Homo-oligomer: A and B are copies of this chain.
Amino acid sequence: MKLTLGAVADRFDLPLHGDPSIEICGIANILEAQQDELTFLFNPAYKKHLTTTKAAAVVLCRDASSQCDKPCLISERPRLIWADIAELFDATPKPDGRQHPSSIIGNNVVLGDDVSIGAHAVIESNAVIGDHSTIGPGSVVGANVRIGQNSRLFANVTLYHDVMIGNNVIIHSGAIIGADGFGFEFDDVRGQHIKIPQVYGVVIADEVEIGAGTTIDRGALNHTEIGIGVKLDNQVQVGHGTRIGAHTVISGCTAIAGSMTIGRYCLIGGAVGIIDNITITDNVEITAMSLVSKSIKTKGRYSSGTGLMPGKEWKRNIVGFKQLANLLRRVRRLESGNGNS
């Protein structure tokens, strides 16, 4: 894949400083880009690398361009243009619009135009798959599943029965959607936990992306719902009946319990925990590895935890943590003038 700078500039309507005939073969970060690669300046802290980068050219905002001797493409939103340019160099294999002969298609399955079904994929009975959608090799699509148009399941995805997937949805390998929610009731007569059948499904709206190994359970008394434009990273867990609002982004390994609601346009960090039966309003940001243990009613940024410390220092401080309630009392007593009593 080779493109001239001029072709890139024309395609995305970007002002170009420099020779339009320069050829680029790829993109790379500013520290490692080679002579035939295009790079980007996203962060002003990296300006110092403009003089040393080997890159053929740099995408940056007008302000920074004055400090750049290299050929450059001007954009006030270099990260958005990055998305466009990266697509030109994306080598992800395109679906071929065919059903591999080793795939197994159940009774009454309805396939739209140009549906691709990979080797050893299994589509169970009564599933409906929309035009231009793709089922990766080894994936299993359960009975009665509905998948919209232009959606793509990569290899080894599992959808249980009655899951609904919208249009333009991407589901990465190992994701599992529609497994039974974790619902048991302890029967003290029998001394054991009784399973509560999870009779609802999962509804995934359009434009959702679901990461590798992410699990979204089916609901018990309502569908689990993932709103339009939601992006879930790898190894996220979404409990039964939970609802995630449109355009919320959730980083890897976050554990979300069941029967809770997250608003729209939230940013949930990685490895966060969120308990059941609470509500998080719109536009909430949760920093990495925080535990959300009650509802959040006001937008803003929230955290829990302690900072990282060298082990010895940390050990001394957690001794203090275990005496905090006591310490509070002692300070109160000192304030009342009884410190020595």
Q: What distance in Å separates the Cβ of A173 from its nearest Cβ neighbour in chain B?
A: 4
Which residues of A (87-112) have their CB < 8 Å from a CB of B? 87, 89-93, 100, 102, 104
| Given A235-B215, A247-B191, A308:B293 Cβ within 8 A | yes
The 8 A CB mask of A299-341 against B (1 = contact, 0 = none) is: 0111111111111011111111111110110110011110110
A316 CB contact (under 8 Å) in B100, B161, B291, B325: B325
The 8 A CB mask of A155-170 against B (1 = contact, 0 = none) is: 1101011100000001
Q: What distance in Å separates the Cβ of A191 from its nearest Cβ neighbour in chain B?
A: 7
Please determine whether A291 and B289 come into contact, CB atoms closer than 8 angstroms: yes
In the assembled complex, the Cα of A296 lies from the Cα of B307 at a distance in Å of: 13
- Copies assembled: 3
Complex contacts, A6 vs chain B, CB 8 Å? none
Please determine whether A217 and B192 come into contact, CB atoms closer than 8 angstroms: no
Complex contacts, A327 vs chain B, CB 8 Å? 320, 327-328, 331
Kindly specify which of A14-22, A27-35, A66-74 makes contact with the partner chain.
Answer: A27-35
Assess whether A288 is interfacial by the CB under 8 Å rule: yes
Assess whether A117 is interfacial by the CB under 8 Å rule: no
The 8 A CB mask of A107-147 against B (1 = contact, 0 = none) is: 00000000000111010100000000000111010111000
| Given A252-B239, A328-B327, A308:B302 Cβ within 8 A | yes
Complex contacts, A49 vs chain B, CB 8 Å? none
Q: What distance in Å separates the Cβ of A114 from its nearest Cβ neighbour in chain B?
A: 20
Which residues of A (194-240) have their CB < 8 Å from a CB of B? 194-199, 207, 209, 211-213, 215, 217, 220-222, 229, 231, 233-235, 237, 239
Assess whether A290 is interfacial by the CB under 8 Å rule: yes
Please determine whether A255 and B235 come into contact, CB atoms closer than 8 angstroms: yes
Interface of A is mostly: loop
Q: Which B-chain residue is minimally distant from A294 (CB atoms)?
A: B308
Q: Which B-chain residue is minimally distant from A194 (CB atoms)?
A: B83
Please determine whether B311 and A287 come into contact, CB atoms closer than 8 angstroms: yes
Complex contacts, A300 vs chain B, CB 8 Å? 310-311
In the assembled complex, the Cα of A310 lies from the Cα of B273 at a distance in Å of: 16
In the assembled complex, the Cα of A198 lies from the Cα of B234 at a distance in Å of: 15
Q: Which B-chain residue is minimally distant from A209 (CB atoms)?
A: B195
Q: What distance in Å separates the Cβ of A92 from its nearest Cβ neighbour in chain B?
A: 6
Please determine whether A321 and B311 come into contact, CB atoms closer than 8 angstroms: no
In the assembled complex, the Cα of A257 lies from the Cα of B309 at a distance in Å of: 20
In the assembled complex, the Cα of A144 lies from the Cα of B326 at a distance in Å of: 58
Q: Give me 16 A-to-B residue pairs in the complex whose CB atoms sit less than 8 angstroms apart, sorted by A's number.
A: A29-B221, A83-B195, A90-B198, A92-B197, A102-B102, A176-B212, A213-B213, A217-B234, A235-B235, A239-B252, A253-B255, A257-B288, A270-B273, A271-B291, A304-B308, A317-B323
Complex A-B, nearest 6 residue pairs according to Cβ-Cβ distance, in ascending order: A320-B324, A316-B325, A253-B255, A301-B311, A179-B212, A29-B221
